[in-house]
Amino acid sequence: MRVHIATDHAGMELSSHLITSLSASGYEMVDHGPAAYDAEDDYPAFCINAAAAVVADQAAGVDALGIVLGGSGNGEQIAANKVKGVRAALAWNLDTAKLARQHNDANVVAVGGRQHSVEEATELVKAFLAEPFTNAERHERRIGKIAAFETTGEIVE
């Protein structure tokens, strides 16, 4: 599986650890930055680029997911969710990491690097990446309604 990862200055240590750890576990890691620490950097471009790469890979039939990191993960999740086709979920415990995949077929996980130890955050990300979507009809239906709004602007009841 290809995994696109992006962060800002607040998640750089975690990003570096995840790239090393996940690469060793067999994931193909693609780093969308930043390349160097800058306490004044802005996360939107990094996260949007990673999210767009996930969507492009998935459209091309590549097994791909994404990770966006920051201090809280909130802004990074919001930025990633602006990319059409992205379903980014903020994971703060194992249940939310797994349910994001099981019920929402989330393709990007957001984690707050200042909210968890490196070990905890790694566990959340690994749980997200390993968890399959259930393909349950009710979840597919709900995701379809979100996609319809994203495409047409119309709310499907």
Quick check: is 137 catalytic? no
- What is the secondary structure of 9-34 as a DSSP string? GGGHHHHHHHHHHHHHTT-EEEE-S-
- Phi then psi for residue 154, to 5 deg, are -95, 140
> CA dihedral defined by 131, 94, 104, 49, rounded to 10 degrees?
-90
- Which residue is catalytic, options 13, 103, 123, 139? 103
- Which residue is catalytic, options 4, 9, 32, 76? 76
26 residue type, one letter: G
Quick check: is 139 catalytic? no
SS3 112: strand
Q: Which residues are catalytic?
A: 76, 103
